[in-house]
Structure 1
Amino acid sequence: MASGKVSNYLVYILLGLLIVGLMGFGASGLSGTVRSVGKVGGEPISIEAYGRDLTQIIRGVESQTGTALSFQDAQAQGLDRVALARSVTAKALEVEAAELGLSVSDETVRDELLTIPAFRRSDGGFDRDAYGFALQNNGMTEAEFEERLRSETARGLVQSAIAAGIEIPQTYTDTLLAHLGERRSYTFAWLEPAMLDAPLPEPDEEVLRAFYADAEDAFQLPERKRLTYVWLLPEMIVGDVELDEAALRDSYETRIDEFVQPERRLVERLVFATGAEAESAADRIAAGETIFEGLVAARGLDLADVDLGDVTREDLAAAGDPVFAAEDGAVTGPHPSNLGPALFRVNGIIEASETSFEDALPFLREDLAMDRARRQIEARISELEDQLAAGATLEDLAAEGGLEQGQIDWYDGLATGIAAYDAFGATARAVTEQDYPEIQMLEDGGIFALRLDEVVPAAKAPFEDVADEVRAAWELAEAETRLLEMAETLRAALENGSSFEDLGLAPQTAADQTRRDFAPDVPTGLLVDLFAAEPGAIIVTAEAGRAAIARLDAVEPHDPEDPDLRQISTLLSQQASQAISSEVFGTWMDTVQRRLGVQIDQQALNAVHANFR
């Protein structure tokens, strides 16, 4: 007989299952004569057990995503199948434990019960009232709950016996660490197109078309949505907006502060506690003992702290006249301010300006016309929506409603024409062939509606559309080919004892690099080859229109005392142990289930699922 406490890990799992069990599941209880969703080895899987598992899994996903999950979405994600697999596994463990003669003593059940936080008082003691209340609310007796706890603890014992104690051979982690920690030192240099003896030839169309044809996976268009759309923008109708002079003059008067600007000054103000302090500061500036910036810094302030920006004479109240009488760059004061006596420095003079109605007329006309155009478009939305609801097509809106019609092969990332609008992109991304067109707003006050005609599969773009890209790719490929030829010549010279400097190259060196190190200036392909080569090997590669040549100078084994590698060793061992334990348990459980036999009642499952909807 097995007794005593199971591992803390299993206890936490069991307590989580128990708490979820006490919370119930679904929207309401189940009724009827069907009480199980299936059998394992002839033993029923209760609908309550399956419901608890399904509830726990759904709530776990909701906790991870932070959003509520409908049962339909849960089914679409396969969560019901995950829950059923969990319930079948639990029942198989229970049957296997019974066949093995495993049981859990009353003392162990008591000890596990006392660890459940929901049943403990604030002083840590067991709260029998809370225990009884929770069971009563969930329609369970103490005997039923404690028997469930006994069964789940026994299942945990079986699972722990199968999955625990698997140790990873030290050879396994040593081999991985030797690979990850091996250190290599190398010298490399770039070969640039400017180093070629002659410039690249000028390709004709035949050469480019042949290159285009050979590049099977290049110049591809993504899957696209072929959309028919209509749209109406304010600028499309602004020319038809009629404006009378009265409206324009009203707009001018409303915006008069924009067109009539009084004289202003760019001013800084330093306030003092008393007039005497302000007078003393002004005298020091006049005597050349300090400057305005010095006074500001002495107060622990920055110039930004005393900057008033551009102000009018009226903004400065009593200090307005003397400040406006001061010259640009002058410090004047002390003068009164709403915060106390202050020194003022004038940093700039902005003369008064006035734009007459006639001069402002082009701006007024454009702004007012655009505003009215937006309002006219907004006023038409209900009318257009009614037409669509009555069966009008986008073509009808274009022919009779004055909207402009177009077609676009849209894909995510397209940002030209109407696709540059975020609102259009969001609608295009979500639309399906079953959706009906709807009037939508654009960011600038325009409107649009769209229809998905077909989904166009990914395909190679026509040569004429990507001719510039083809030429650029050909130039890169041609440069790489010629540079690799140069690199092969240099390789022979390096192998014969020449140095990088002898060959006119500008080498870079790297010492004790591991496979874990980041080397942003070194081509990825070159690093792979270097870590597969023997000391002294010369490696050449090409990337992005240039080539690189490298020499592997030294190979050193990993340092077993490296603290980073020690930490990696521990993690690798733990991960491998967990993975193998999971595989062992899964294989064993498959065998047990085949031996015991599993039967699933789909009608009972449907009844449970109906309770979740």
Structure 2
Amino acid sequence: MLHAMRKGASGWLAKGLLLLLVASFGVWGIGGDMLTSSVGSNVIEVGDTSVSLGEFQRDYQRNLNLLSARFNTQLTQEQARQFGLAQMTINQIASRALVDEKTKSLGLSADDEAVRKMIQSQPAFQNQFQQFDRFMFEQFLARNGYSEGEYIEIVRNDITGNQLFGTLSQGVSKSPAVLVDTFYAFLAEKRTAKYIDILDSSIGFAPAPTDEELEILIKENPENYSAPEYRKVSYILLTPETIAADTEISDEDLKAEYDARKSEFDTPERRAVVQMIFENEEKAAAAFKKISEGADFAEVAMSDLQLTPSDIDLGMMSKTDLLPELQGPVFDLENGGVTQPVKTVLGWHVAKVEEIVPGEERDFNAVKDQLKKDILHGRAQELLYAQATKLEDEFAGGAKLDEAGQSLDLTVVTTDWIDASGNDRTGTPVASLPSATGLLTEAFARQVGDEVEVSETPEGGYYAVVVNEIDPAAIKPLADVKEQATQDWQSNWRHEEARKKAEELLDKLSGGETLDKIATELGLTVQTSSPVLRSGPAGELSPVARDGLFDLEPTAYGVNVNKAGNGTLLYGVADIIPADPAADQDAYTQMSEQITASMRAGILAEYENYLQKNIGISVKEELIKEYF
């Protein structure tokens, strides 16, 4: 079947089939009866486990960092609230504590060896040789704000949690065939429609509306006839470009910078390296002996270690790319040379150089412009920060924007009326507005009289903005929008008349007249749509007409808006194409697997629901809201 079938299956199951789990998964919504306010500094209590505000804050900040990294921007507290980050953190902590309480009561545990194996088996902590890399593990801990002890306890909790939940759903190995067949038959059925399209333009003459009718239209659709909010604002903008323009760099400074960074501008020698790593010196020496006697390096790697050429290829490496113990032996070789066995923390290495690309030195004149740019940028950032700090001090002392600008000899710019998009009252973009990210947004988020603050831009600049006047958004006078409103009213009238006409014709069809005869009388052609599923693309039909098609009996007809929104369809069922699992076995199998997974998830969710009620969860929601 079509790719749309797969989309329909996954999308429908995700939104429809999992509805049976809503009640049970509501456990992690933490119901109102759980949101008590017990005495003490703890914000979450699960059985005998208590979580302090500080512990909650650490988990919350960790989640905020992870979410910020996912969106490649630092989220604000307001954005975090919109994402429901506090509730998500509550759910995570409660889930972890709930599992911990139950596993302890059952005597389930995971010893240190099991935890160690679990951590070392995770791909995120393994190097290119599928070996545990302590450095990668420590980097992960640092990035995510875990101590080693905290992460070990999380892994231990996961293992015991798997012991607790792992066997609950094992009895559901396959979803019942009758259930899969029923869902598949419903979702994979296709239909085609026979229809005529009665366009609004076919109605022709439309009466002129009265002022009262136009007023009603405008009142019902104010966004179409309103002028945006306009503001007059003043701002101070500090950018690296303005600072750098006033900064001179001498040749002596440039030469000193070049000498300090000379190695940075030189391209080091690089070598194409292949290597094998053995667990002991004897095996490494035996492999080296074979190669010395004429055996091919790659063939020895395959025979001794079952490694393919891609497995042993390190690519082009500079000297510092290699482990310290390998740097000398590898870079002392001629092209095609092989090292004696070399011991490192990873084992015993035998390496071969397959290509040498000489290094290159760039002289002062070749990098002079880059040096000047870098120095200017560095100095500008220092000067900008110093200026921004002085500006903050002025505001902290009670200075207004213009007073601070005068005191620090900074330019204060005042705009005429602008909207939130940076346009003037004629809708023309104001060319003089700076492109500093955030400035315009903040200008339309503040109110007249708010305290002045210094904000930083992602581009490395700073700004302070105040609102001088606000002209609120308002519906335009009828005289200003009468022409547009009249056209809209007449378009709506034609559309409604086209629909009435289609409904009158629908009555004729119900009385026994044929669609072909009606089409002939109107000078139209009966069209047939391409086959469509219940979900996914609607083809030549509008989505609502497609939905209506699947509600129709085979001999019935319906009326609905057309795809372009400029007319009305009078349509009926042309053909029904039953679901055929053999035509797309992959979609059928996918549906079966998703139903099985949903049934298993339902069992687990019901057990979690039981645990919550049995063990008890208390959350100080109001206290958490105060901080987050």
**TM-score with structure 1 length normalisation?**
0.50
* Structure with bigger gyration radius: 1
Q: Give the TM-score normalised by structure 2.
A: 0.49
